[in-house]
Amino acid sequence: MRSYSSLLSYIALGVLAVIASKTGILNAYVQIVLMFIGINVILSTSLNLVNGYMGEFSVGHAGFMAVGAYITSVLNVMLFTQSSLFGPPLLNPSSALFLFPVTLLIGGIGAALAGLLVAIPSFRTRGDYLAIITLAVNYIVKSSVENIQVIGGARGFMGMRNVINSMQDIINIPWALVWVIICVGATVWIIYRFVNSTYGKGIVAVRDDEIAAEIMSVNTQRMKMVAFMLSSGLAGIAGGLFAHVLGYINPGTFTIMKSTEVLVMVYLGGMGSLSGSVLSAILFTIILEAFRPLQVAKWVVVPLLLILLMLFRPEGIMGHRELTDIFPRLRRWFGAKEERG
C-alpha cells in the first residue's frame, strides 16, 4: 500500500481542488493561477530532463510548447467546434470529453518529433553550440507558425474556449483544471520513474562523461533521443494545456522570453532535482503573480529577486538533491520502496 500513498494523496488533493473550484471556494483567478502553476511544473520538470539530468543547455523549450499548443488547438477546434476557419465540427462536440486526451497526446507526439530537430544534431554537437541549435529551432517554429496563414499566422488562433465549454456542457466541472492536474501528475510520475531506472540513469552518465558512457555500453545516441523527445513531448502537452487555459494563442507567446522563464525555473530549482523543479515552478509562478501590480517594474523586480536568490543559493533551491534527501522521513510517503543505490 505504501507505494501508492503518494499517488493516492495526489489524487485526493486534485479532487479537492476540483470540488473547491466547482463550489466556488476557489475563485476563477485562483484557478487560473493553479493551472499556470501546473503548466509551469510540466515545463520545468521536462526541461530539467535535458538541462539538468543530461547537462545540455536547451534554450528553446517554448518552441516545442508552441508545436503542441498549435497541433492540439487546431485539432480540437476543427473536430469539436463551429469555427470560422474550419466550419462545422467534424465530430460530435460531446466526444471532446473522451478525445481531448487523445488530441493532447497527438500534440505531444508532434512536439516530440520536433524535438528530433535538436536530438539529431546533438549526436555531434554539445554545449553552447547545441544551445544555439535549440535557439534556432525556437525561432524556426515561431516563424513557421507566423507564416501559416490557415491557422491565423501572426494574428494568433482562438476557439479553444469552446472546446472546454463543450466538455463542460456534458459534465459541468472545470475540465481545464482537471486535465492540468492529471497531466502534472502523469509528468512527474513518468519523469520520476524514468530517471530512477537504470535505463534512465544513462542520461546522467551522458552528462558526467559521455565518452565513458558510450564505451561502457550506454547507447548515448538513443539516450539523447529519448531525453530530447520526452522533454519536448511533455513541453508540447504543456503547450496544449496552456492554449486551452488561455483560450487564445499567438506565435508571440512562444518566444525566447517564454523559454527564458522555463530556464529560470529549472536553474532556480536545481539542476537534476525533480522536486526542486516542482518547487521552483510553484514559487516562480506565485512570485510572478504577486508582483503583477507593479506592471512594467515587475520585470525589473523579479529578475533582481532571482539574482539575489542565486547569490544565496548558487546551486538552486535544491542543488542536486531531492526533497527526500533533505527530509528522509518523506521517503515513507514518496519514492515508495527505497531502492538500493
**Considering only residues 220, 253, 273, 275, which one is a binding residue for other proteins as defined by CB under 8 A?**
220
**Considering only residues 98, 199, 327, 333, which one is a binding residue for other proteins as defined by CB under 8 A?**
199
Q: Tell me if 68 sits within 8 A of 238, measured CB to CB.
A: yes
Q: Tell me if 10 sits within 8 A of 27, measured CB to CB.
A: no
How many whole angstroms separate alpha carbon 120 and alpha carbon 125? 9
Minimum gap (Å) between residue 275 Cβ and other proteins: 17
**Considering only residues 158, 180, 271, 318, which one is a binding residue for other proteins as defined by CB under 8 A?**
271
**Considering only residues 170, 204, 288, 330, which one is a binding residue for other proteins as defined by CB under 8 A?**
204
Of 163 and 279, which has the nearer Cβ to other proteins?
Answer: 279
* Strands (DSSP E) found in the chain: 157-158, 248-249
144 binds other proteins (CB under 8 A): yes
Of 169 and 338, which has the nearer Cβ to other proteins?
Answer: 338
Supply the DSSP string of 158-195, one letter for each residue. E-HHHHHHHHHHHS-S-HHHHHHHHHHHHHHHHHHHHH
4 binds other proteins (CB under 8 A): no
List binders of other proteins among 294-333 (CB under 8 A). 296-300, 303-304, 306-307, 310-311, 314-316, 320
Q: Per-residue x/- mask for other proteins, residues 225 to 264, rule CB under 8 A? A: -x---x-------------------------x---x--xx
**Considering only residues 135, 182, 283, 330, which one is a binding residue for other proteins as defined by CB under 8 A?**
135
How many whole angstroms separate alpha carbon 39 and alpha carbon 231? 14
List binders of other proteins among 147-166 (CB under 8 A). 147, 154
Q: Which helix (H) or strand (E) holds 92?
A: none
With CA atoms as reference, report the closest residue to 242 among 103, 113, 65: 65
**Considering only residues 93, 110, 152, 202, which one is a binding residue for other proteins as defined by CB under 8 A?**
202
Neighbouring CB atoms inside 10 A of 123's CB total 11
200 binds other proteins (CB under 8 A): yes
With CA atoms as reference, report the closest residue to 242 among 28, 38, 77, 103: 38
207 binds other proteins (CB under 8 A): yes
- Exposure b/e, 296-330, CB count within 10 A at least 16 = b: eebeeebeeeeeebeeeeeebbbbebbbbeeeeee
Minimum gap (Å) between residue 110 Cβ and other proteins: 18
Of 164 and 195, which has the nearer Cβ to other proteins?
Answer: 195
List binders of other proteins among 102-131 (CB under 8 A). 117, 120-121, 124-125, 128-129, 131
How many whole angstroms separate alpha carbon 283 and alpha carbon 268? 9
Minimum gap (Å) between residue 107 Cβ and other proteins: 19
